[in-house]
């Protein structure tokens, strides 16, 4: 499942991985997408 976040064509899970230094996103939804 690819969700557009911010810029078009950018997946929210990709953006979250780059933005958050943590190995695991705190949000269960983000973890599912990741």
pLDDT in tens, 1-34: 555 555 555 555 555 555 555 555 556 665 555 4
pLDDT at 16: 54
Nearest Cα to Cα of residue 15 among 3, 26, 32: 3
pLDDT at 7: 57
* Containing structural domain, residue 17: 1-34
Q: How far apart are the first and last CA of the chain?
A: 10
Please state the domain count of the chain. Answer: 1
């Amino acid at each position: 499942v690819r969700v557009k976040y911010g810029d078009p064509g950018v997946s929210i899970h990709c953006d979250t991985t780059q933005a958050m230094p943590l190995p695991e996103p705190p949000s269960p939804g983000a973890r599912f997408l990741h």
